[in-house]
Amino acid sequence: MRRRIIAGNWKMNMLKSEAKQFMVELIPLVKDAKCEIVLCTPYTDIHRVYKLSLGTNIGVGAQNVSWADKGAFTGEISADMLKEVGASYCIIGHSERRAYFGETDESVNKRLLQALKCGLKPIVCVGETLDEREGGLTEKTLARQLTEGLKGAEGDIIIAYEPVWAIGTGRTATPETANETIAFIRKIVTPLIGETSILYGGSMNAANAQSLLDMSEIDGGLIGGASLKSADFSIIVHCK
């Protein structure tokens, strides 16, 4: 089902006291929001943020999930562990995991199937690099990431389009480029998993969010840097 989702990705930020302070500020600012609000925090913040979110309209997620149930997988965190501490969403296949931690379309697919099996709502990230965009390979890259990544998957799967060249660079895709690319993504994913929300991510902030969210194909946002400040994040949450 297509719906407005505003998700924060804290990446590797927010110590205990910072996370608490953020929540104390954010909760009253977004209590009347009309959209689904999600915070994907570091593993170590999930339980704290979850406890503070009880009785509010804020959902909590992780930034990755193991593809295995349990066992000898040093450093990994299972879906059951995430659920036990209060996560109900998880990001899968973020470009930083693809670039720095060897994530592949195949491992994205394994993690996705595991998340769905265990009842976590996945946010699957796709996006092209600058070289791929400039080399005319955007559609080919996205088509591969989506068909391989979503293979055999069924259920409520949120997709995030995050062009790698726009992440953390201050260089946002124009609303028109983001809209056009998400329209292409929608054409591929709808026959695979049905109608779903597709978010834009990459230097989205309080100043440019409305112009992106005004576009017909953009259902919401996955926000990095601007999700670390409660005032900025709440402005994005309240966009029309």
* Active-site residue set: 94, 162
State the minimum distance, in angstroms, from the CB of residue 158 to ligand 13P: 12
- Return the number of the residue (13 or 68) whose C-beta is nearest ligand 13P: 13
In sequence order, what DSSP letters do the residues of 198-231 get, joined into one string?
EEEESS--TTTHHHHHTSTT--EEEESGGGSSHH
Strand, helix or coil for residue 76: coil
Residue that the structure tokens 């709808």 belong to: 190
- Return the number of the residue (100 or 191) whose C-beta is nearest ligand 13P: 100
- Return the number of the residue (13 or 88) whose C-beta is nearest ligand 13P: 13
Asked if residues 142 and 188 have their Cβ atoms less than 8 Å apart, the reply is: yes
State the minimum distance, in angstroms, from the CB of residue 74 to ligand 13P: 26
- Return the number of the residue (86 or 202) whose C-beta is nearest ligand 13P: 202
State the minimum distance, in angstroms, from the CB of residue 80 to ligand 13P: 24
Question: Dihedral, CA atoms, 160, 95, 12, 109, nearest 10 degrees?
Answer: 70
Which positions touch ligand 13P (CB under 6 A)? Answer: 9, 94, 162, 167-168, 201-204, 222-226
Question: Dihedral, CA atoms, 112, 108, 236, 40, nearest 10 degrees?
Answer: 70
Whole-angstrom distance, CA of residue 110 vs CA of residue 40: 20
State the minimum distance, in angstroms, from the CB of residue 236 to ligand 13P: 10
